[in-house]
Amino acid sequence: MFDTIASITDWILRFVGILALVMNIILLFIKHNKHEVNVYINRIDKSDFNKYVNAMKYTDDIANGEYLLFLPQGKTNFRYVKYCECEFTGNKLKTKKVLQCFNNINCNNGLIINTYFPCGTPGRILQWETKYGAKGEYVIAENGKDGNVSFGNHFYIFIINNFISNIKKIFDYE
């Protein structure tokens, strides 16, 4: 009985090992697609609106008073940007509902949101997805200690290597 279980386990592990070796050899010849995602997020004054004429504007009816600029940089194009309500559940943030969804945000238009930066528990969050599937989020809140907010460029490289992304790259779909 023990010999048959050991024999079956041995053959399963041999098969998995050979499959992993073949997959790694195949991955050596497949091109990995790198997509740079760069977005600039910062507070702005109402007097700066004339610099961003094409930007979409949204006012949060419940929490407003300050202006947040969300501006993609370079060739980064977003499939959607969601402005969501969130709640803090002890140790993590939970997205409750989407207040507004913006489609096709790129470096030519951007987004200006009239929102509020709470000094305690965050109430709003921005979530986005690029055309190639990279996802990100930004919690709209101050840190609660000294009021600092992490602004500026959010830059990361997203590496995709799957069948759909390779097809999109072949046809240069952005």
CATH number, domain containing residue 38: 2.60.40
Which of 67-81, 82-96, 140-154 has the least mean pLDDT? 140-154
Shared-domain flag, residues 14 and 90? no
Which has the closest alpha carbon to 124: 46, 66, 71, 79? 66
Shared-domain flag, residues 23 and 39? no
What pLDDT score was predicted for residue 150?
60
Domain that holds residue 94: 33-170
Report how many domains make up the chain. 2
Shared-domain flag, residues 25 and 70? no
Which residue reads 């002890």 in tokens? 90
- More confident call, 151 vs 91: 91
Q: How far apart are CA 57 and CA 77, in angstroms?
A: 18
Shared-domain flag, residues 61 and 20? no
Give the long-range contacts of residues 22-27, CB within 8 A, separation 24 or more: 27/161
Average pLDDT, the chain: 79
Shared-domain flag, residues 6 and 64? no
Taking 80 as the threshold, does the pLDDT of residue 145 lie above it? no
Shared-domain flag, residues 11 and 47? no
Shared-domain flag, residues 65 and 26? no
Which has the closest alpha carbon to 136: 153, 115, 149? 153
Shared-domain flag, residues 94 and 150? yes
- More confident call, 87 vs 121: 87
What pLDDT score was predicted for residue 174?
46
pLDDT (mean) for 74-89? 85
Helix (H, G, I), strand (E, B) or coil at 160: strand
Shared-domain flag, residues 94 and 16? no
What pLDDT score was predicted for residue 101?
93
